[in-house]
Structure 1
Amino acid sequence: MRTLIATAALIALASPAFAHFQEILPSADVLPEGGKVTVDLVFTHPMERGPTMDMARPARVGVASEKGVEDITSTLTEVPVDGKQAWRFERDVAEPGAEILFVEPKPYWEPAENKYIVHYAKVVVDGYASGEGWDRLVGLPVEIAPLVRPTGLWTGNLFRGVVLKDGQPVPGAEIEVEWVNDGSVMPPNEAFITQVIKADDMGVFSYAMPKAGWWGFAALIDGPEAQSPDGKPAATELGALMWVKATDMGGAK
């Protein structure tokens, strides 16, 4: 159950805006013998364990592999989280190699920030622990190109990536980083909820993951000017999201 921890609840009263993250989290990042993986799509605030927002049925959900890009939107099942709309699908990974699972959500209107949010999120699942194909790009409008294999990572490993817009690096891009809190961590104050880093002049960023679990990297880029639901000028936030899992050596089997 995703509920606000006490500290986050106090922060929610003090701050009108949270770091939104489009989750696309599989039941495993590596399938050593292939098989099925369950993938959950939730629009939420991972470190604070909520609140969860209603997520409209995505514009597109797909898989990029050596065979190309496959649209699997029709396989979605609605699975509410905290009474809010969320989604799930299953994927049978039958062959060795990386499958890049991705979601293109419909724009989400955030009145507190007077903007639409569109977070293009992806995650890599490695079939048969092949270690192949993990750097394949989907070709999304905004996307993170990994410079480190994003599967089979130990806690403390350095994850590196390049922020791309229309296939080109974004110098100085700002990246927000959050951990999917399982309830074991209570941030001492608001500064610890969302980590913030900046890409260099080549769009490259790096971050050492200090705890086991899923980490979301959200590169935020200004999109085209839009109109709010009441017809007034509004902004658009494009997010290039990538999810990476870290595993403790001590708990590895």
Structure 2
Amino acid sequence: MFKKSVLFLIIFVLAITLSVSAHFQLVLPTDETISKGEEEEIGLQLIFTHPMEASHTMKMDKPQKFAVINKGRETDLTSELVSFEYFGSQSWKTTYQTKAPGDYLFYLEPAPYYESGEDAYITQYTKVVVNKMGMPSDWDREIGQKAEIVPLARPYGLWTGNNFRAIVKKDGEAVPYAEVEVEYLNAGSFSGLNGAGIKVPADSFYTQVVKTDKNGVFSYSIPKSGWWGFAALLEGEKIEGKDHEIGAVMWVKAYDMN
């Protein structure tokens, strides 16, 4: 009886933990602003996780597509992906050699993930922009993903306190009053990141929530330096008769002004 009670308690605590922190598809570059004289090759990790804690990382099947756009020219990187294990779950990584100055818009279409706890599928279409030499070129480009965040404010060169604005689209159309989840990539939970980890005062602080306005636009004032993820949650077409949540995700990084 005691063993059953302990098992139930463990399952209950785990369920609470998973419910307070949101799923986020992560595309994490080793550098998002490349200046003159810096390393021109960057590494990229593709991880499906909970950014604020990373205690629950989901297995990623081979992505449907991973590509980069620079000055309107697309390069498919899907075949360059290599699997690796992160927090016990399959994830993906690659390297990319930047060349000309400008924006490098990386985007991901992952394979649908089956969430057994919800008996539903999740697909999060994800973007991140790496800039080289301060020359803008593609940061506001709409690439036509099923679900997409199109930035209205440049998604790099951000100071802490800057207001990030973007429009949420589904099938090319703006989505009014869509819910957008916001999470901080907690450096204390992710190897390779600089900075101390943070502790939240209550469960409601794990995931921030904003909504788009009638024009599909949302905004968020960034309160801390580091990586921030934005995920607009939308309804997709069913898969094998099961619900399918599609997400439009974008990552940005902010810096403190010294």
Amino acid at match of 1:63: V
Equivalent of 1:249 in 233, 241, 257: 257
Contact 1:118 1:239 in 2 (8 A): yes
- Structure 1 CA distance for aligned equivalents of residues 49 and 255 of structure 2: 23
User: What are structure 1's unaligned runs of at least 5 residues?
Assistant: 1-8, 228-232
* Structural mapping, 1:18-167, within 5 Å: 18-33=21-36, 35-167=40-172
Partner of 1:179: 184
| 2:246 pairs with 1:238 | yes
For the residue of structure 1 that corresponds to 2:215, the secondary structure is coil
Between structure 1 and structure 2, the one with the greater Rg is 2
Contact 1:115 1:236 in 2 (8 A): yes
- Structure 2 CA distance for aligned equivalents of residues 96 and 15 of structure 1: 43
Shift of 1:10: 9.0
- Structure 1 CA distance for aligned equivalents of residues 164 and 219 of structure 2: 5
Shift of 1:101: 0.3
Change (3 A) 1:13 1:221: closer
- Identity value in percent: 44
| 2:6 pairs with 1:14 | no
Amino acid at match of 2:16: A
Partner of 1:230: none
| 2:224 pairs with 1:224 | no
- Structure 1 CA distance for aligned equivalents of residues 73 and 13 of structure 2: 44
Change (3 A) 1:112 1:167: same
For the residue of structure 2 that corresponds to 1:249, the secondary structure is coil
Amino acid at match of 1:218: A
Contact 1:11 1:190 in 2 (8 A): no
Shift of 1:65: 2.2
Query: Normalized against structure 2, the TM-score is what?
Result: 0.87
Post-superposition Cα deviations, 1:215-242, rounded to whole Å, max 9, x if no partner, equal: 0000010001233xxxxx4210000000
Number of matched residues? 237
Query: Normalized against structure 1, the TM-score is what?
Result: 0.89
Contact 2:181 2:208 in 1 (8 A): yes
User: What are structure 2's unaligned runs of at least 5 residues?
Assistant: 1-10, 189-196
Amino acid at match of 2:233: L
Change (3 A) 1:48 1:11: farther
Q: Over aligned residue pairs, what C-alpha RMSD do you find?
A: 1.7
Amino acid at match of 1:205: F
Change (3 A) 1:10 1:96: farther
- Structure 2 CA distance for aligned equivalents of residues 30 and 11 of structure 1: 40
